[in-house]
Amino acid sequence: MITKNIDVNTLMTSSGVRFGTSGVRGLVESMTDEVCYAYTAAFLQEVVEKSGVVDKVILGHDLRPSSPHIASVCAAAITDNGGHVVYAGALPTPTLACYAQHQRAAAIVITGSHIPFDRNGIKFYGLQGEISKADELAMQQAIVNLPDALCMQLPPADGKVEAYYIKRYVDFFGDANLTGLRVAIYQHSSVARDLLRAILVSLGVEVVTLGRTQEFVPIDTEAVRAEDVIQASNWAKEHNFDAIFSTDGDADRPLIGDELGHWMRGDMVGILCAKYLAADVVVTPVSSSSLTEQSTWFSQVVRTKIGSPYVIAAMEQTLAQKDSLIVGFEANGGFLLGRDVMRGGKKLEALATRDAVLPMLAVLAMARVQGCKVSELVASLSSRYTFSDRLQNFPKEQSSALLTLFQYDAARAQLIMAPEAGGIVSIDITDGFRVSFSSGDIVHLRPSGNAPELRCYAEADTPEHAQSLCAHCLQRVTTMFD
Last residue in a domain, options 139, 158, 177:
158
Residue 113 a catalytic site member: yes
Query: Are 329 and 192 in a shared domain?
Result: yes
Which stretches within 173-212 are classed as H helix?
Answer: 193-202
Q: Using one digit for the tens of pLDDT, what is the confidence trace for 427-453?
A: 999 999 999 999 999 999 999 876 789
Q: Give the pTM.
A: 0.88
Query: Are 392 and 367 in a shared domain?
Result: no
Task: Tell me the helix, strand and coil percentages in the chain, rounded to 5.
Answer: 40, 25, 35
Boundaries of domain holding 94: 3-158
Last residue in a domain, options 143, 158, 173:
158
Query: Are 290 and 312 in a shared domain?
Result: yes
Q: How many CB atoms lie within 10 A of CB 436?
A: 18
Question: Stretch 273-287: mean pLDDT, rounded?
Answer: 95
d(CA 54, CA 78): 8
Residue 1 confidence class, pLDDT cut points 50, 70, 90 = low
CATH at 47: 3.40.120.10
Query: Are 192 and 104 in a shared domain?
Result: no
Query: Are 271 and 372 in a shared domain?
Result: yes
The tally of domains found in the chain comes to 3
Residue 149 confidence class, pLDDT cut points 50, 70, 90 = confident
Query: Are 340 and 473 in a shared domain?
Result: no
Query: Are 365 and 432 in a shared domain?
Result: no
CATH at 392: 3.30.310.50
Query: Are 370 and 393 in a shared domain?
Result: no
Query: Are 291 and 353 in a shared domain?
Result: yes
Residue 385: pLDDT above 90?
no
Question: Stretch 406-416: mean pLDDT, rounded?
Answer: 94
d(CA 113, CA 123): 10
Q: How many CB atoms lie within 10 A of CB 480?
A: 11
d(CA 450, CA 399): 13
Residue 359: pLDDT above 70?
yes
- Among 67, 113, 287, 295, which one carries the catalytic annotation? 113
Name the packing angle between helices 8-15 and 133-140 (round to 10°): 100
Last residue in a domain, options 356, 379, 402:
379
